[in-house]
C-alpha cells in the first residue's frame, strides 16, 4: 500500500486522500472544478479523475448531481474511493477503473456534464517524471482521443470542459471544432503581462459550429506576486466566471 496523506481544500470543507509521493492535486484541479457549468441535477463524468482533486470539489459544489470518476491507475482510483468515503459522498459519487476511450464505449450520450484534466505531455516530450507521476503527466491517450471520449459520453447539447497546457490549444480545438459548438477558451496566466500557461476550454456537444469565443486571461497572481482575487475565490470554493 502506498503512503498517503489526508489533506483538505475549500478551507477544510473537502477532504482528499493523496499519495505522499507522486501526483498530488493542485491549482489546476480546483480551477477545473470551479469552471464547471453549475447544474442542480443529472449525472456528471470526470475522465482521469486521479485521487479526486477535481471530482470531489465538484461534487461538493453541486450537491444535486451524481458523479462518476474514471481513473486508469488502480492505486489512484482506490485513493479516490477513500476520498469519496471521507466526504460522505458514497450515495452519489462512484469511482471506476479503466482507460478513458475504452470505458466510455457503453455510455454514449449518457452524461449531462463531462470534464477532464488530461495528462499534459506526449511520451518522450519530457524527462521521466518522479515516482507515481507517470500516468498523471504522460499521455496514454493523446488529447484528441480524450476530447473524443468526452464528447462520446456527453448527452447532446451537454457541456464538456477541460483544462490543459496552452501549448496544446490547437490540438484541442481541431477536435472540438468538429464535434461541439459554443466553444469558449479562457487563458490562465501567472500574472499580468505573462503568457498563458494553461487554458480552460468549454464546448457543447453537437451544436452547430459558431464563432469561437477567446476571453481575456485571468491571472493567478497580481503584479506584486500576491494571490489574485480570482485565485483566492477559487481556492475558497468559488466559481470561475466565464
**183-204 confidence digits (pLDDT tens):** 999 999 999 999 999 999 999 9
Is the per-residue pLDDT at 91 higher than 90? yes
Average pLDDT over every residue of 62-74:
97
Share of the chain above pLDDT 70, in %: 91
What integer pLDDT is reported at residue 176 of this predicted model?
93
Question: What are the helix (H) ranges across the chain?
Answer: 27-35, 55-61, 74-86, 100-103, 134-137, 143-153, 169-179, 229-235
Residue 128: pLDDT band with limits 50, 70, 90: very low
Angle at 182 between CA 200 and CA 140, to 5 degrees: 45
Q: Residue 88 class from Cβ within 10 Å (0-12 exposed, 13-18 middle, 19+ buried)?
A: exposed
pTM (predicted TM-score): 0.91
- All cell numbers assigned to 31: 480551477
Q: Which domains does the chain have, with CATH numbers?
A: 4-235 (3.40.50.150)
Interatomic CA distance for residues 72 and 88, integer angstroms: 23
Amino acid at each position: 500500500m502506498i503512503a498517503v496523506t489526508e489533506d483538505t481544500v475549500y478551507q477544510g470543507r473537502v477532504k482528499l486522500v493523496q499519495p505522499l509521493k507522486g501526483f498530488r492535486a493542485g491549482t489546476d484541479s480546483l480551477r477545473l472544478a470551479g469552471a464547471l457549468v453549475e447544474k442542480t441535477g443529472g449525472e456528471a463524468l470526470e475522465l482521469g479523475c486521479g485521487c479526486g482533486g477535481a471530482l470531489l470539489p465538484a461534487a461538493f459544489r453541486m450537491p444535486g448531481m451524481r458523479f462518476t470518476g474514471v481513473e486508469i491507475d488502480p492505486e489512484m482510483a482506490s485513493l479516490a474511493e477513500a476520498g469519496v468515503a471521507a466526504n460522505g459522498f458514497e450515495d452519489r459519487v462512484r469511482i471506476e477503473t479503466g482507460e478513458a476511450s475504452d470505458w466510455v464505449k457503453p455510455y454514449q450520450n449518457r452524461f449531462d456534464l463531462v470534464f477532464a484534466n488530461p495528462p499534459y505531455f506526449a511520451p518522450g516530450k519530457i524527462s521521466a517524471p518522479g515516482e507515481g507521476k507517470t500516468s498523471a503527466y504522460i499521455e496514454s491517450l493523446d488529447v484528441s482521443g480524450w476530447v473524443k471520449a468526452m464528447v462520446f459520453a456527453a448527452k447532446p447539447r451537454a457541456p464538456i470542459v477541460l483544462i490543459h497546457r496552452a501549448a496544446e490549444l490547437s490540438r484541442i480545438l481541431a477536435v472540438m471544432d468538429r464535434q461541439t459548438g459554443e466553444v469558449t477558451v479562457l487563458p490562465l496566466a501567472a500574472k499580468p503581462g505573462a503568457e498563458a500557461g494553461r487554458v480552460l476550454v468549454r464546448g457543447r456537444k453537437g451544436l452547430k459550429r459558431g464563432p469561437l469565443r477567446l476571453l481575456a486571461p485571468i491571472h493567478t497572481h497580481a503584479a506584486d506576486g500576491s494571490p489574485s482575487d480570482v485565485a483566492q475565490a477559487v481556492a475558497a470554493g468559488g466559481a470561475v466566471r466565464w
